[in-house]
Structure 1
Amino acid sequence: MRAPRPELLRGQAVVITGAASGIGRALAQRLSRQGCPVAIADVDEAGLAVTARSLTSPTLSRILDVRSASDVAVFADDVGRWRPGSLGAVFNNAGVAVNATVVDADAEDDKWLYDINFHGVVNGTRAFLPLLLDQGYGAVVNTSSVYGLVAVRYHSAYCASKFAVRGYTEALRDELRGSGVRSVTVHPGGIKTNIANTARVRSDPSGRGRSQAQMAREFDAAAMTTPERAARIIQRGVEKGKSRILVGPDAFLVDVLARITPTRAADALAALDSKLSAASKKEIVR
């Protein structure tokens, strides 16, 4: 007999990639406080160690490059032996960014991004899905972005990867009907994380001569949501059975624009971005 799907994640084991900082760390900390055994993974060894030290529940920590399907499969085997039959959710959360115009984009930078943002999600899903199906419950929770709803300039590779995550996760959702396992897409808006600091930027794609540090400061000043609030929204969305989770007020705005004016949404976002950029510069000066 299939085990019933738990409505709450509390006490259930969870897997989180990209756990060395940002949303991944906040999710790990939040769920650990609620008694969830937490399996965390990231390529950032130092950051992952900081996260691990902050957790209070049983923890399995692995240095992991999600680009490697074989390494992710080994991680899944380890988790299966560590907490057999009790996996509440797998959060495929690892992600990176590249800022460039299409004409100036570096092919290696784009491949690096695709391999982490999309193929990392695929690797995590394929590795852990058999465990969830054997249980008959649980959730695969894949992080897309608001840029998986609307495409914007200077982020062609990032948008492509996040649209791919969205399509992949929605197709999986249909395949899983009746299995007891759910497929969930997360669309965060601007979150105050390290993604802008770790992005690959060879030059300011807008032509304004900003350094990467300047662009990262502007992003952080304009971001509307903390990782802790994002973690709370994501957990509640998963527990409510949502198939799509919008994170932050800007995510809801983008979603509305994508629905009512899909061909002009990017223009509206560009105007909004100019206002936010101006506001963030004032904030930075202060």
Structure 2
Amino acid sequence: MAQDPFAGKIAVITGAASGIGLALARDLARRGARLALSDVNIERLEAVAAELRAAGANARADRLDVSDRAAFFAYADMLAGELGPVDIVINNAGVALVGSIAALPLDQIDWLMGINFWGVVHGTKAFLPGMLSRGRGSIVNVSSVFGLIGVPGQGAYCAAKFAVRGFTETLRQEVAGSGVYVGCVHPGGIKTNIAASARTVELMPGVDSPEAMARRFEETARTTPEQAAATILRGIERRSPRILIGGDARVISGLARLFPVAYSAVVRKALEFATKSKNRNENPAAARS
């Protein structure tokens, strides 16, 4: 029986305390990888690492703010000294920020970009030189379907995820033939707590509270973190340049390719439909009148 391709590999996962990062950690642990897990929520992360170690995995947990450049590079140096060369880096940490571009304060945009974009840049730059010198390794950066299309109320998030996509697709071309694999992940709606934990500056059209926004996301998200993790690992095994997660991601990718400008009308209609559906559900008598 062939050995699992992830067995014995050293894998770095940011944002590993919950959501897709947690599911990746569990899946890679089951497959025999050695894990370097990081998150800003160290209490939750230590519980994750303890769970994995109890099941026989080799896992360490470190608090890391991916937006802190010096801290990220120090973290990479520490791992190199204690674990040896890193084989896989999955830049997964991310946050959400809701509000129109006109309403978003610049400091809030800076906060999101520091994590969602600069965190990816830091993770890439910290580990890429070693991979290039060895002629092997995998760098996987998590974008979003909002890195394929723009959506009202998600300007900062879209900007970061488009930036991740451009950065990653450029890197892939630059390292072609080096032995280093570069993949860009575009999840659709995943059942994580990202919407519930989002910073809300201004509510999206048709939503009257942050809680309602989180409920709407939960109702429309169709893919579990476990399914997302399995898709990502399959993409790494196949060295897929673009990893789409969920049927919604595949539809949105096709829509953006076929209608690179006109897709915005589809997005607008979808938001209007969601608003009307919400109003009908909350006030059926008015909807019939």
TM-score by length of 2: 0.90
Partner of 2:124: 125
SS of the equivalent of 2:87 reads strand
Partner of 1:51: 48
What is the CA-CA distance between 1:93 and the residue it aligns to?
Answer: 0.4
Give the distance between the partners of 1:8 and 1:273, measured in 2 at CA.
43
Letter in 2 for 1:66: V
Q: Residue 260 of structure 1 is aligned with which of 255, 258, 261?
A: 258
- 1:61-72 maps to which residues of 2 (within 5 A)? 61-72=61-72
Partner of 2:242: 244
Give the distance between the partners of 1:19 and 1:278, measured in 2 at CA.
37
- 1:127-276 maps to which residues of 2 (within 5 A)? 127-206=126-205, 208=206, 210-275=208-273
**Contact kept? 2:153, 2:203, Cα under 8 Å:** no
SS of the equivalent of 2:7 reads coil
Partner of 2:78: 78
SS of the equivalent of 1:198 reads coil
**Contact kept? 1:80, 1:131, Cα under 8 Å:** no
**Contact kept? 1:95, 1:117, Cα under 8 Å:** yes
Change (3 A) 1:84 1:280: farther
Give the distance between the partners of 1:99 and 1:21, measured in 2 at CA.
20
Q: Residue 18 of structure 1 is aligned with which of 15, 18, 23?
A: 15
Change (3 A) 1:209 1:171: closer
What is the CA-CA distance between 1:103 and the residue it aligns to?
Answer: 1.3
What is the CA-CA distance between 1:277 and the residue it aligns to?
Answer: 6.5
SS of the equivalent of 2:107 reads helix
Give the distance between the partners of 1:67 and 1:130, measured in 2 at CA.
20
**Contact kept? 2:207, 2:213, Cα under 8 Å:** no
What is the CA-CA distance between 1:104 and the residue it aligns to?
Answer: 1.1
Letter in 2 for 1:11: G
**Contact kept? 1:93, 1:142, Cα under 8 Å:** yes
Query: Deviations 1:195-246 (Å, cap 9, x if unpaired)?
Result: 111211033132x462212211110111111000000000000101101100
What is the CA-CA distance between 1:25 and the residue it aligns to?
Answer: 0.5
Query: Deviations 1:42-71 (Å, cap 9, x if unpaired)?
Result: 111222123212214111211000011111
Q: Greater shift after overlay, 216-225 or 41-50? A: 41-50
Letter in 2 for 1:60: R
What is the CA-CA distance between 1:14 and the residue it aligns to?
Answer: 0.4
Give the distance between the partners of 1:209 and 1:148, measured in 2 at CA.
23
What is the CA-CA distance between 1:279 and the residue it aligns to?
Answer: 6.7
Letter in 2 for 1:109: Q
Change (3 A) 1:275 1:237: farther
**RMSD between superposed Cα atoms in Å:** 2.2
**Contact kept? 1:66, 1:123, Cα under 8 Å:** yes
Letter in 1 for 2:44: G
Give the distance between the partners of 1:199 and 1:9, measured in 2 at CA.
33
Instruction: Specify the structure having the higher radius of gyration (Cα).
Output: 2
State the identity as a percent: 43
Give the distance between the partners of 1:79 and 1:164, measured in 2 at CA.
27
Give the distance between the partners of 2:172 and 2:4, measured in 1 at CA.
18
Partner of 2:285: none
SS of the equivalent of 1:133 reads helix
SS of the equivalent of 2:218 reads helix
**Contact kept? 1:7, 1:239, Cα under 8 Å:** no
Q: State yes or no: 1:100 paired with 2:102.
A: no
Give the distance between the partners of 1:187 and 1:277, measured in 2 at CA.
26
SS of the equivalent of 2:192 reads coil
Structure 2: which 5+ runs fail to align? 283-289
Change (3 A) 1:132 1:165: same
